[in-house]
Amino acid sequence: MKSILIVEDDHSIADLQKDYLELSGFSVRIVHSGTDGLKALEKETFHLIILDIMLPGMDGFELLKIIREKEDIPVLLVSARAEEIYKIKGLGLGADDYITKPFSSGELVARVQAHLNKFERMKERFGKGDDGSKIVVRGLEVQKEARRVFIDGKEVTMAHKEFDLLLFLLQNANRVFSKDELFERIWGMDALGDASTVTVHIARIREKIEENPSKPQYIGTVWGSGYRFIV
């Protein structure tokens, strides 16, 4: 049984989400603040997190940053804020989806299941891509099954989608992909967002693995076409 953490300060909304998810076969835990969400993550293991943005104490963005430093699981942001800047910020911080309130409970369950299925497919695909469990290119080492990244022997922390994007480009080295192609391959056709999400994630990856992000040696920009991993 998949376990889901709901971090939502509106008790009625949280209870409704919990009821629908439990009817669909999930185990659900509810907390009502960002601080309690962090405590729950320190004590228990979850397969997916439904995270509201506007929370007392620690807001959803702040909690998301901490989650992405420690956890490699899908995170669905929910908020009444429909402005694009909130969506771009949330997806840029590593959220897998952004759902605007109000939304139907049926839609929520469908999105939860879709992201869990996609996460499992990604793990299977990247874990069996080619011979060996790691890929080394110059000073960059990517351990596929462990989902760890090292640059010149020093480990760097990658958010879930950052790792997926880096590994996909690495496994298709020298091939150019447009932003739209990368968004479809990594986020999927049904994901909320657009190709600008790819640009944000490429920038964050470069900051972590490139000696000089403005003159990248690993992930190059092919102007007018997209991005490629350089070997």
Q: Are strands 148-151 and 154-156 parallel, antiparallel or unpaired?
A: antiparallel
**What are the structure tokens assigned to 29, written together?**
């835990």
Report which of 123, 92, 78, 99 is spatially closest to residue 191, judged by C-alpha positions: 99
Contact 2, 26 (CB under 8 A): yes
DSSP class of 190: T
Percent of the chain past pLDDT 90, that is, above it, reads 55
DSSP class of 177: B
Q: Highest mean pLDDT: which of 13-22, 174-183, 194-203?
A: 13-22
pLDDT confidence tier of residue 93, bands split at 50, 70 and 90: confident
Ordered structural domains, the chain, with CATH: 3-121 (3.40.50.2300), 129-229 (1.10.10.10)
Q: How far is CA 56 from CA 7, 52, 53, 62, in A?
A: 11, 10, 10, 11
Q: pLDDT tens for residues 45-86? A: 999 999 999 999 899 999 998 988 777 789 999 998 888 888
Average of per-residue pLDDT across 127-155: 81
Q: pLDDT tens for residues 57-66? A: 899 999 998 9
Beta strands in 123-181 (DSSP E): 134-137, 140-143, 148-151, 154-156
Burial of 43 from C-beta contacts in 10 A (0-12 / 13-18 / 19+): exposed
Contact 146, 132 (CB under 8 A): no
**What kind and span of H or E run contains 36?**
helix 34-43
Average of per-residue pLDDT across 154-176: 90
**What are the structure tokens assigned to 178, written together?**
């447009």
Looking at residue 191, its pLDDT comes to 58
Residues 6+ away with beta carbon under 8 Å from 20: 105, 106, 108, 109
